[in-house]
Structure 1
Amino acid sequence: MTESTTQAAIDPFEDPETRNKMAIRALIFLLITFILGTLCIQGFNLVFQQVGKDVGAVQQASLITALPSIVLGIVCFIYGSLGDFVSLKKLVVMGLTVLFIGSIFGFVANFFFTANLWTVIIARVLQTAGEQVAGSAYLVITTKYLKPSLKVIFFGIFTAGYQVSAAIGVFAAGLLGSISWQYLFLIPAVTIFFIPVLLRCLPDNSGNGEKVDWVGFTIFGAATMFLTLFFSYSNWWLCIVAIAMYAMFGVYISKAKNPFVTPAFFKNTRWIMAISLILIFYFTNYCMSPIFNAICRDVFGITSSATVSMHIVWAFLVAAVFGTSSGAIVDKIGRQTTMIIAACLMIAGFAGCAFIISSGIIPLTLMACVFYAGAGLMYSPVVSTVLGTLPNEQSGRGVGMNDLVMSVTASIGISIFGGLMSSDSLAGGSLTGAVGRQAVYSNLLLIAAGVALLGLVVFLVFHKKIYAEK
């Protein structure tokens, strides 16, 4: 073998001097892919009720958001966990291909043919499953390959990218909702052209070479799917099946020779306490935008999605600013103080919206900005806190579990809140003095503030144990 051949065979990720440079190049294109994919998620979050009306399925409209969110949670976990076992190049190529197929199918099936609830959902499921590979690969590379001083910064950039995509998404949804929401499907299709660049920048190997435990992935993913469907349909048999499959998963990992995750993973009490923070804080992650949209429609009489998006977009931009700054803020005041401030901002934003619900769209927008400032500030410290409770060799599974919990808890939250939004069960009155439809939205916002308050209480109770040395 010649010297040049030997050098060509060397993985640049093995060289500390080039590792950060290669990782950052890959992260740029992964972030763009993630932004474009998330743009669709947030766009459909804003207009899912309009889509439901257009396809003649108003009562099932929340499924347009809920079912792709279920898939998002499952593939988040699978993609992140697979980062400990197989090549990221294979995952990225597969993900971007699925994203492209979903984009083209969604547009063609719903634009050139009669729009249908299930063609919308199938396309959104494919898009969601495909785009998340970029997010998971980004987090795995950040956790495994960047030097410690850059990790918190790139976590902050990631959440900033999420919020920027959300801002563009609601703006695009407002604009295209007035023209044809089907065009939303086409936005991330361009990412198929990123594959050649990513193949050059991603590491050849990103795992330990062990055989992938597809049986374990399948059981755990199916259990999560049935659990989330229970909250969407409220059929108890779905809950029973979920519990049975989780029990089966517990028995499986205790007996299997090489499960992808061992029982010891779940016995890490520091991790359990830390992941509970994501479970609580992100329960209402998808709720502000549709509630804001509903208030504008039913309280202020604003029926134009474009007009609504011109206001809520500022909240997402605020979140992007705070997300970008979160790394520097954490370096200055620490993760614990940052998380407390972020939680207080989320509480104040939700509660503030509840109490000024009839004051006008400008005050409502300002309070939404307060909430999203907290949401943007929260991501970097909470994710780094959770991953800090795990050894480096489990970082991929940690990323996967973070994404799973974040997505599933948000999908459960939007299913519950979406159902309550479309009913009058909370219309009897509110602590804020609101009545009728105003009371519905005011009470939902107060409940959301209570969820964020619960997260803050849990953090204050367990923070010393979470940050304790192993």
Structure 2
Amino acid sequence: MADNTTVVEQDVDDATNKMAIRALIPLLITFVLGTLCLQGFNLVFQQVGADVGAPDQASLITAFPSLVLGIVCFIYGSLGDFISLRRLVTVGLIVLFVGSLFGFFANYFLPANLWTVIIARVLQTAGEQVAGSAFLVVATKYLKNSLKVIFFGLYTAAYQLSASIGVFAAGFLSTISWQFLFLIPAVTIIFLPILLKNLPDSNGSGDKIDTVGFVIFGVATAFLTLFFSYMSWWMIALAAVLFIGFGVYISKAKNPFITPAFFKNTRWLMAISLIALFYFTNYVVSPFYNAIGGALYNMDSSQVSTYLVWAFVCAAIVGTSSGVIIGKIGRQAGIITAACLIMCGFAGAAFCVDKGFILLTLCACVLYCGVGLLYSPVVSTVLGTLSTEESGRGVGLNDLVMNVSPSIGIAIFGSLLAGVPAVDEAGSAAARAAAATGYSQLLLIAAGVILLGLIVYLVFRKHIYGTK
């Protein structure tokens, strides 16, 4: 059954579609290997910090790349509206390759140093995200409408699969030498000739890049991201001032990269709010399950990960199939189904907290099936509210919200998680019951957030799709 919206999106010709497919495959592989490396370092950063003699500063190994990721997600997608994707991807792959080699040689053949690790990871993160952003821009602008949900589904499946493989790769390589993690995405340089042949040489308007606007927005985003890592109020205050200044700037500038009219698109505003709500809980599952496993089941993180990996596998399988599924049931039914699966996963876990970790794992599998199904229809819905000329900026803002919203979520849920009663060494029944109740309440709150997103969608979906 086709989607029941009445919006008619202009399709591309067969030649453009074939060119896009030939470019999307290597872009996807590059994104997978870059994400795999990212997830690997997220797992072993404490070991890396200890090995370089800076255990107290180990979190910087993940904090700085995360900061860069939050900024470049927006900038790369937006730049796709103004400059050649071929040029953008070329620079990105070269930066990724240089960062990979620098990280390996500087830390394997020379004494490992915290800042050489951080610099290499920043270069790798900045480089690999070009592939992710370019993938979404190409899929949005140059792919046939019937194939868009399929490739959006492959994108989220690739992310989930690379996340799970990254955990195991890091665990294996950490027993040999973590420096080899740097080399994983270096092989993507071989895709450069293919991408040079198939990526469009001209893209967007070709207008002069609004450097001032990008700098103001980028710095504001940087401080916003840093706030959720360090919770310093001066950072959020400065971010707020910069965002206000950005609003004043784009209302006065002659050719801003994004105009106030963009933010007056109420269809887009309603659609992007779905991203903010549905992805608010995206980072909480692992810390929730780690806490529950440790407090109630005496499990360490590695034991918990052997259970949770099956949830990532479920997400990858459903994500791969999501294009076919959405093609049969339509975007609206897909979003509703995905939201219900995520909500049921959280709610089911809330009632199974002390009933056994296998039951909790089954709930996580249900939840991640929803996550795997959600990305394709919700991103297609958001980008469908914009014109082709605005799709790059739409991709950038979509990625930005998808990164910032769960960062806010984990900051809030993390503080609530710290308030759950601890289980004493004796593991008394009363202490275990109190902890189980606390975890159940947090899981139900997470389910409530998804329910709120579903309600917003049901109330405003006609307006989002431009139907009466």
Q: Give the TM-score normalised by the residue count of structure 1.
A: 0.87
- Distance verdict in 2 for CA 1:368–1:453, change over 3 Å: same
Instruction: Letter of the 2:369 partner, please give it.
Output: A
Map of 1:450 onto structure 2: 448
Map of 2:267 onto structure 1: 270
Establish whether residue 327 from structure 1 lines up as the match of residue 311 from structure 2: no
Q: What CA distance in whole angstroms lies between the structure 1 residues aligned with 2:414 and 2:46?
A: 10
Instruction: Letter of the 1:320 partner, please give it.
Output: A
Aligned length: 452
Alignment identity in percent? Answer: 68
Instruction: Letter of the 2:312 partner, please give it.
Output: F
| Selected match of 2:311 from 312, 315, 331 | 315
| Selected match of 1:80 from 77, 85, 94 | 77
Map of 2:33 onto structure 1: 36
- Distance verdict in 2 for CA 1:299–1:428, change over 3 Å: closer
Instruction: Tell whether the 8 Å contact from 1:427 to 1:435 is kept in structure 2 after alignment.
Output: no
Instruction: Tell whether the 8 Å contact from 1:160 to 1:322 is kept in structure 2 after alignment.
Output: yes
Map of 2:3 onto structure 1: none
Q: What CA distance in whole angstroms lies between the structure 2 residues aligned with 1:204 and 1:134?
A: 16
Map of 1:223 onto structure 2: 220
- Distance verdict in 2 for CA 1:52–1:417, change over 3 Å: farther
Establish whether residue 391 from structure 1 lines up as the match of residue 365 from structure 2: no
Q: What CA distance in whole angstroms lies between the structure 2 residues aligned with 1:397 and 1:37?
A: 23
Map of 1:336 onto structure 2: 332
Instruction: Tell whether the 8 Å contact from 1:216 to 1:252 is kept in structure 2 after alignment.
Output: yes
Map of 1:142 onto structure 2: 139
Establish whether residue 460 from structure 1 lines up as the match of residue 458 from structure 2: yes
Q: Give the TM-score normalised by the residue count of structure 2.
A: 0.87
Residue pairs, 1:5-404, within 5 angstroms: 16-48=13-45, 64-111=61-108, 119-303=116-300, 305=302, 307-404=303-400
- Distance verdict in 2 for CA 1:353–1:434, change over 3 Å: farther
Map of 1:427 onto structure 2: 421
Larger deviation: 368-377 or 58-67?
58-67
Q: What CA distance in whole angstroms lies between the structure 1 residues aligned with 2:340 and 2:30?
A: 32
Establish whether residue 410 from structure 1 lines up as the match of residue 414 from structure 2: no
Indicate the SS of the match to 1:286. Answer: coil
Larger deviation: 323-332 or 381-390?
323-332
Instruction: Letter of the 2:452 partner, please give it.
Output: L
Which structure 2 segments of 5+ residues have no match?
1-11, 424-429
Q: What CA distance in whole angstroms lies between the structure 2 residues aligned with 1:52 and 1:442?
A: 34
Report how far residue 313 of structure 1 moved: 2.2
Q: Deviations over 1:125-158 (max 9, x none)?
A: 3222111110111111111111111111111121
- Distance verdict in 2 for CA 1:467–1:286, change over 3 Å: same
Q: What CA distance in whole angstroms lies between the structure 2 residues aligned with 1:91 and 1:171?
A: 31
Report how far residue 39 of structure 1 moved: 1.4
Q: Deviations over 1:300-329 (max 9, x none)?
A: 344473x54433222112111211222222
Report how far residue 262 of structure 1 moved: 0.5
Q: What CA distance in whole angstroms lies between the structure 2 residues aligned with 1:55 and 1:279?
A: 37
Instruction: Tell whether the 8 Å contact from 2:311 to 2:368 is kept in structure 1 after alignment.
Output: yes
Q: What CA distance in whole angstroms lies between the structure 1 residues aligned with 2:138 and 2:278?
A: 25
Instruction: Letter of the 1:136 partner, please give it.
Output: S
Larger deviation: 47-56 or 61-70?
47-56
Which structure 1 segments of 5+ residues have no match?
1-14
Instruction: Tell whether the 8 Å contact from 2:296 to 2:432 is kept in structure 1 after alignment.
Output: no
Q: What CA distance in whole angstroms lies between the structure 2 residues aligned with 1:401 and 1:200?
A: 28
Q: What CA distance in whole angstroms lies between the structure 2 residues aligned with 1:179 and 1:263?
A: 53
Q: What CA distance in whole angstroms lies between the structure 2 residues aligned with 1:277 and 1:236?
A: 27
Q: What CA distance in whole angstroms lies between the structure 1 residues aligned with 2:444 and 2:282?
A: 14
Q: What CA distance in whole angstroms lies between the structure 2 residues aligned with 1:126 and 1:436?
A: 45
Instruction: Tell whether the 8 Å contact from 2:295 to 2:422 is kept in structure 1 after alignment.
Output: no
